Chains A and B, each alone.
Chain A
Amino acid sequence: MIRGFYFSMTQYNILGTPKWIGFDNFVRIGKDPLFWNALGVTLEYVVLNIGFQTIIAIVLAVMMQRLTKSVVLRGALLLPWLVSNVIAAMVWFWLLDYQIGLVNQFLAWTGASKIAFFGDSFWAIPTIAFVNVWRHMGYTALLVFAGLQTIPKYVYEAASIDGSSEWSSFWRMTMPLLRPVLAMILVITVTGSFQVFDTVAVTTRGGPVNITRVLQYYIYQKGFAEGQFGYASAISVVLFLILAVMAALQLRLLRAGESDLA
Chain B
Amino acid sequence: MTTTPVRASATPQARKHHRPVSLGRIVAWVAMIAFLIVTLFPFYWMLRTALSTTRSLPSAPGSLLPVDFTWGAFERVLGLGSRAQAVAEGGSGASVNFWLYLRNSVVYAGSVTIGQVFFCAMAAYAFARLRWPGRNLVFGIFLGALLVPPIFTSLPNFILVKNLGLLNTLPGMILPTFLMTPFAIFFLRQFFLGISREIEESAALDGAGPWRTFFRIILPMSTAPVTTLAILTFIATWNDYFWPLLVGNTEQARVLTVALGVFRSQTPAGSPDWAGLMAATLIAAAPVLVLFFAFARKIIDSIGYSGVK
Is there any pair of Cβ atoms, one from A and one from B, under 8 angstroms apart in the complex? Answer: yes
Could you list which residues of chain A lie within 8 angstroms of chain B, going by C-beta atoms? 1, 3-4, 56, 59-60, 63, 65-69, 71, 73-88, 90-92, 94-95, 100-102, 105, 134, 137-138, 142-143, 145-147, 149-151, 153, 155-157, 160-161, 166, 180-181, 183-184, 187-188, 191, 195, 216, 219, 223, 232-233, 236, 239-240, 243-244, 247, 254, 258, 261
Q: Which one of B147, B257, B292 lies within 8 Å of A84 (CB-CB)?
A: B257
Cα–Cα distance between A95 and B41 once the two chains are bound (Å): 10
CB distance from B280 to the nearest CB of A (A): 9
Interface residues of B in 1-36 (CB under 8 A from A): 1, 3-4, 7-12, 15, 24-25, 28-29, 31-32, 35-36
Cα–Cα distance between A243 and B143 once the two chains are bound (Å): 12
**Chain A residue with Cβ nearest B239:** A84
A91–B28 touching, CB < 8 Å: no
**Chain A residue with Cβ nearest B183:** A188
A181–B308 touching, CB < 8 Å: yes
Known contacts A153-B10, A240-B147; can you find 9 more A-B pairs with CB under 8 A? A65-B10, A84-B281, A102-B62, A143-B306, A157-B3, A187-B146, A232-B151, A236-B151, A240-B149
Cα–Cα distance between A247 and B9 once the two chains are bound (Å): 35
Chain B residue contacts of A91, Cβ below 8 A: 42, 45-46, 278
CB distance from A102 to the nearest CB of B (A): 6
B288–A4 touching, CB < 8 Å: no
A95–B151 touching, CB < 8 Å: no
Q: Which one of B11, B143, B148, B292 lies within 8 Å of A78 (CB-CB)?
A: B292
B151–A4 touching, CB < 8 Å: yes
Number of A-B contacts (CB under 8 A): 173
B151–A233 touching, CB < 8 Å: yes
CB distance from B226 to the nearest CB of A (A): 15
B31–A195 touching, CB < 8 Å: no
**Chain B residue with Cβ nearest A181:** B308
CB distance from A142 to the nearest CB of B (A): 6
Q: Which one of B277, B297, B300 lies within 8 Å of A142 (CB-CB)?
A: B300
Q: Which 7 interchain pairs have the tightest Cβ spacing?
A: A100-B61, A149-B304, A150-B307, A156-B10, A146-B303, A4-B152, A180-B308
**Chain A residue with Cβ nearest B12:** A69
CB distance from B294 to the nearest CB of A (A): 11
5 CB contacts below 8 A, A to B, read: A1-B148, A66-B8, A75-B293, A77-B35, A91-B46
Task: Take A240-B149, A243-B147, A244-B147 as given contacts and tell me if A71 and B62 are in contact as well, using a CB distance cutoff of 8 Å.
Answer: no
Interface residues of B in 245-297 (CB under 8 A from A): 257, 260, 272, 274, 277-278, 281, 285, 288-289, 292-293, 296-297
Could you list which residues of chain B lie within 8 angstroms of chain A, going by C-beta atoms? 1, 3-4, 7-12, 15, 24-25, 28-29, 31-32, 35-36, 38-40, 42-43, 45-46, 58, 61-62, 143-144, 146-152, 155-156, 183, 186, 190, 235, 239, 241, 257, 260, 272, 274, 277-278, 281, 285, 288-289, 292-293, 296-297, 300, 303-309
B296–A75 touching, CB < 8 Å: yes
A191–B42 touching, CB < 8 Å: no
Task: Take A149-B307, A160-B3 as given contacts and tell me if A90 and B277 are in contact as well, using a CB distance cutoff of 8 Å.
Answer: yes
CB distance from B4 to the nearest CB of A (A): 6
Cα–Cα distance between A3 and B153 once the two chains are bound (Å): 10
B293–A3 touching, CB < 8 Å: no
Cα–Cα distance between A249 and B146 once the two chains are bound (Å): 15
Chain B residue contacts of A79, Cβ below 8 A: 39-40, 43, 289
Cα–Cα distance between A155 and B9 once the two chains are bound (Å): 12
Cα–Cα distance between A216 and B42 once the two chains are bound (Å): 27
Chain A residue contacts of B277, Cβ below 8 A: 87, 90
B292–A75 touching, CB < 8 Å: yes
Task: Take A77-B35, A142-B303 as given contacts and tell me if A3 and B9 are in contact as well, using a CB distance cutoff of 8 Å.
Answer: no
B300–A247 touching, CB < 8 Å: no
Cα–Cα distance between A247 and B152 once the two chains are bound (Å): 18
Q: Which one of A66, A145, A243 lies within 8 Å of B303 (CB-CB)?
A: A145
Task: Take A82-B289, A181-B308 as given contacts and tell me if A195 and B3 are in contact as well, using a CB distance cutoff of 8 Å.
Answer: no
Q: Which one of B58, B146, B281 lies within 8 Å of A191 (CB-CB)?
A: B146
Q: Which one of B156, B241, B304 lies within 8 Å of A146 (CB-CB)?
A: B304
Task: Take A63-B28, A82-B235, A239-B149 as given contacts and tell me if A181 and B307 are in contact as well, using a CB distance cutoff of 8 Å.
Answer: yes
Cα–Cα distance between A75 and B36 once the two chains are bound (Å): 11
Q: Which one of A3, A60, A84, A142 lies within 8 Å of B35 (CB-CB)?
A: A60
Cα–Cα distance between A216 and B288 once the two chains are bound (Å): 29
Cα–Cα distance between A166 and B8 once the two chains are bound (Å): 8
B147–A74 touching, CB < 8 Å: no
Chain A residue contacts of B306, Cβ below 8 A: 143, 146
B151–A71 touching, CB < 8 Å: no
**Chain A residue with Cβ nearest B293:** A75
Chain A residue contacts of B25, Cβ below 8 A: 67
Chain B residue contacts of A240, Cβ below 8 A: 147-149, 152
Q: Which one of A102, A146, A160 lies within 8 Å of B45 (CB-CB)?
A: A102
Cα–Cα distance between A257 and B118 once the two chains are bound (Å): 31
Cα–Cα distance between A254 and B186 once the two chains are bound (Å): 14
A77–B42 touching, CB < 8 Å: no
B149–A146 touching, CB < 8 Å: no
Cα–Cα distance between A56 and B3 once the two chains are bound (Å): 30
